[in-house]
Structure 1
């Protein structure tokens, strides 16, 4: 009986110690927290150094993250939001819910980074991924004029979807409505997020899917499968820089800062290329994995600054909705 009492006492003490650990809640997108995403490795590595519990909460996609934070407001359980991008920075700042960060790093980005609130953790180029043995259009006009079937994501809930809107608008300006009118009959479906869209493509539901130039690296490195490729468009490819920031209302400000510092560390950045399948924001000491040198590299990069993107978004969205409703 004494042994049982002692064991019970030890169990109680252990539970009490575990309960005393601070918890950091990070809102991110579903693919980040999936078994094959960065989430499990990030959680293990950060908890090993923070003596805390890292609670990763998955939301459908990047744009849906901002919608959830807006809805929850100052009552949000989130301490950090990870998964917005430069197209959403201005809208996010307008909420007044995010706090400045003191994080700095030697960023390996194609653009200079000066934002004092949002911290970049990876980047990439949007592209249409297809089977490598199939021919691919060389630009949006050729895509619209042909019968290639595509799957895209909703710009109201997905950062790739929003990136596609700004890609077309950046490349074609006032001619963007004509491009969308031509593309309307190519679109098989519009999904809420990237994961669903890419899954449907892999199931053979379309010829191409909106994704990233880095997506074929997953198949090549993780599956030893060279059957996927990213189409190179001659009008250029729109760039995405993914970012994170802490909430002003967090009750764990020091832990949130620690996580953002960890996010640009070599440990975190080495995880990104072969789990999130993007380019790391800070070049890891190990360099890029073998296989990344085979990826499509756009000859022209497109990126709208955050303030201009916020203005451009509404017009581009209206043009997209009008074309798809015909």
Structure 2
């Protein structure tokens, strides 16, 4: 029986089940007898946020009761999916990204599904995914962010490039999510590999010597250590869209800035979890919902990511403050799949010294 960490449950409450004389055993018997399973579990990361009214509309339109099970960062999510592939922890997943995706695909975590994609989404499909294991939902560039207000108050010039982060002026000012457990952290590592090639180890040694702090995930980095959130580090690895979140009270300017030098494009995917007990039809319904115009439009204000669908009207703040890089660092997906583990081992050795 699946062990599910249920963080959001909509639909029937435990009290309703008891009052109606229902039981989980009865539900299992109904499923085996061919009765439609009306429960579907979406496994995702801790940053997943879709307006409750859209969840309620999904349930009304489809007849499914949606349970949202949140794990940690996308890196930890992927690891958990691989570890539990023989006994899946849900029916459908959202949040596996292009830095970790090939690991889960190669491990056979997903069942094939090829939904009708909205215009523009095809450009973000996972390269080499000939089995339709994953479907793109959103995108964004992982970039270094700086607290401009902090730098102004200290009279220190802001860094402008990746190379600047190793300079003495920025000693003990940078916090990064771990590449081993965080998808933004791995994306930043890949950005440095794309920029410095075989010299990336030397760059990271310089970062470590300059006091870069490594934490478990993006949430800890941004909402605990970053000075905007009350921490003591005014430089953080985050997203190109983050400055649209850090507006002053009058919403006339942003207090932070994304360095558009050395960014890495991240794409988040959804997929059906393979398993004997998987509610496949329910999983398909969730994937179709994530691609719907309503959810695609809700992604920017809810999760600060860009939709993969063309033509979605972005919030006014995004048009003004969420500047996207003209170019991003790239690493061949096949090379990522082949070298990911060895890169992570080398990276861990460097930052652990």
Do both proteins adopt the same fold according to a TM-score greater than 0.5, normalized to the shorter chain?
Answer: yes
Say which of 60, 75, 82 aligns to 1:63. 75
**Alignment partner, residue 154 of structure 1:** 178
**Alignment partner, residue 77 of structure 1:** 89
The structure-2 alpha-carbon separation of the partners of 1:174 and 1:305, relative to structure 1 and needing over 3 Å to count, comes to closer
- The 5 Å alignment of 1:193-208 reads 193-200=217-224, 201=226, 202-208=229-235
Matched, 1:303 2:311: no
**Alignment partner, residue 237 of structure 1:** 263
Q: Distance in 1 between matches of 2:122 and 2:112?
A: 23
Q: Distance in 1 between matches of 2:212 and 2:57?
A: 40
- The 5 Å alignment of 1:80-95 reads 80-95=92-107
Aligned residues: 310
Secondary structure (helix, strand or coil) at the match of 1:25 reads strand
The structure-2 alpha-carbon separation of the partners of 1:245 and 1:205, relative to structure 1 and needing over 3 Å to count, comes to same
User: Which stretch of structure 1 is more off in the superposition, 109-118 or 129-138?
Assistant: 109-118
User: Which stretch of structure 1 is more off in the superposition, 147-156 or 116-125?
Assistant: 147-156
Matched, 1:100 2:116: no
Is there any run of 5+ residues in structure 2 with no aligned partner, and where?
A: 1-15, 31-36, 152-156
Secondary structure (helix, strand or coil) at the match of 1:75 reads coil
Deviations 1:75-128 (A, max 9, x none): 123111111111222111121121111213134359453641111111000111
Q: How far 1:173 sits from its partner (Å)? A: 0.3
Q: How far 1:263 sits from its partner (Å)? A: 0.9
RMSD: 2.7
Say which of 195, 204, 226 aligns to 2:254. 226
The structure-2 alpha-carbon separation of the partners of 1:251 and 1:323, relative to structure 1 and needing over 3 Å to count, comes to closer
**Alignment partner, residue 274 of structure 1:** 301
Say which of 259, 263, 274 aligns to 2:286. 259
Q: Is the 8 A contact 1:166 1:312 kept in 2?
A: no
Q: Distance in 2 between matches of 1:108 and 1:221?
A: 33
User: Which stretch of structure 1 is more off in the superposition, 76-85 or 137-146?
Assistant: 137-146
**Alignment partner, residue 181 of structure 1:** 205
Q: Distance in 1 between matches of 2:17 and 2:80?
A: 41
Secondary structure (helix, strand or coil) at the match of 1:291 reads helix
Q: How far 1:283 sits from its partner (Å)? A: 3.2
Is there any run of 5+ residues in structure 1 with no aligned partner, and where?
A: 1-8
Matched, 1:140 2:180: no
